[in-house]
Amino acid sequence: MKIAIDAMGGDHAPAEIIKGAVEAAKEFGIEVLLVGQQAVIQDQLKSFKNLDSMVSIIDAPDVVGFDEHATQAVKEKPRSSVMVGMRLLRGKGVSAFVSAGHTGAVLFAALMTLGKVHGIQRPALGALIKTQQKPVLLLDAGATTDCRPYYLVQFAYMGSIYMNKVWGVENPRVGLLANGEEEIKGNLLVRSTHQLLKQAKLNFVGNVEGRDILKQTVDVIVTDGFTGNVALKSLEGMGESIFSSLKTVFNSNIQFRLAGLFLRPALRAVAKQVDYSEYGGAPLLGVRGNVIVAHGRSQSKAIKNAIRLAKQTVDQGLPQAMMEEKLWLNQ
């Protein structure tokens, strides 16, 4: 299996991206294609031995910065790593493309190059949230900020298919993110969506609140990309805040420091729960190709895990299964 990686995208590109990609190639027995400025990548690869044919470079001289306007940058830089990677994917040169670059640029490049799945109105970024057992998929995590009710219904279908195929969840439970559990709760969008979801061929269990996201009462949580993004970053912010306070406590005196050291393995397990790098990436659902968006702050571990996720998705026959699906055509 060949997977392309955007070597230039992300806060820690190219070093951490390349490191993660090399590790993934070795560990998962796949071939990785590093897309980016050839000379830069070549230089970085010098420190790795025995790569043989596991790692190759695809030159992409342009770079899209985080401060650039997404659509403009993508249009004006057809030889950026994001665009070169997408074209590889479209031409079936690779089975998946992973990028930790500018999310807006990745999204726009995917729409421009791959196009949407037949019948799907808008793409959605699916965030995999770690819980005690299988992950919960929250979508949209930021691809489509302004949504209509039937976009959310399509997100629910795509999310259900994804959780079923890739994570083996039978008849995934779908929840609608709202400001209360009762059917009458929600803004206009949510109240309309609730009624549509009740009629859909889905295992819709009703509204869920921000507090329920981590409780595994559902497998798929649908929301617009604006709210989803705010909710995810709020979860993340609280996790960071608590662990930073705990660190301060453990460093406040020598006894606490010792207790902290003793508890470290157990605390690590708790910290894993709030670690975005655990799955490494978010599948972009609704486009005609296997695109995984990694966190901008990704380091090698996150990139390796994002590539694992890409492989797993390909192994389970996505996005082909999604492209052949007709569930949303009659809505």
Site for its own copies, rule CB under 8 A:
67, 69, 142, 145-146, 177-180, 182, 184, 186-188, 190, 209-215, 223-227, 229-242, 245-246, 249, 252, 255-256, 259-260, 262-263, 266-267, 269-270, 273-274
Least distance between its own copies and beta carbon 268 (Å): 10
Question: What b/e string do you get for 170-206 counting C-beta neighbours within 10 Å, with b at 16 or more?
Answer: eebbbbbbbeeeeeeebeebbbbbbebbeebebbbeb
Q: In terms of CB distance, is 71 or 312 closer to its own copies?
A: 71
Least distance between its own copies and beta carbon 263 (Å): 5
Q: In terms of CB distance, is 269 or 329 closer to its own copies?
A: 269
CA angle 230-235-241, nearest 5°? Answer: 120
Least distance between its own copies and beta carbon 8 (Å): 20
Q: What is the residue-wise DSSP string for 34-52?
A: EEE-HHHHHHHHTT----T
Least distance between its own copies and beta carbon 297 (Å): 11
Q: In terms of CB distance, is 192 or 312 closer to its own copies?
A: 192
Other beta carbons within 10 Å of 330: 7
How many whole angstroms separate alpha carbon 259 and alpha carbon 154? 49
Least distance between its own copies and beta carbon 162 (Å): 22
Other beta carbons within 10 Å of 16: 19
Least distance between its own copies and beta carbon 131 (Å): 8
Q: In terms of CB distance, is 150 or 256 closer to its own copies?
A: 256
Tokens at 79, concatenated: 């030889």
Least distance between its own copies and beta carbon 251 (Å): 11
Q: In terms of CB distance, is 199 or 248 closer to its own copies?
A: 248
Tokens at 112, concatenated: 């421009």
Q: In terms of CB distance, is 201 or 215 closer to its own copies?
A: 215
How many whole angstroms separate alpha carbon 223 and alpha carbon 78? 32
Strand partners, 283: 292
Task: Compute CA distances 208 → 5, 174, 222, 228, 302, whole Å.
Answer: 35, 9, 10, 13, 28
Q: In terms of CB distance, is 51 or 261 closer to its own copies?
A: 261
Question: Can you tell me whether residue 55 is helix, strand or coil?
Answer: strand
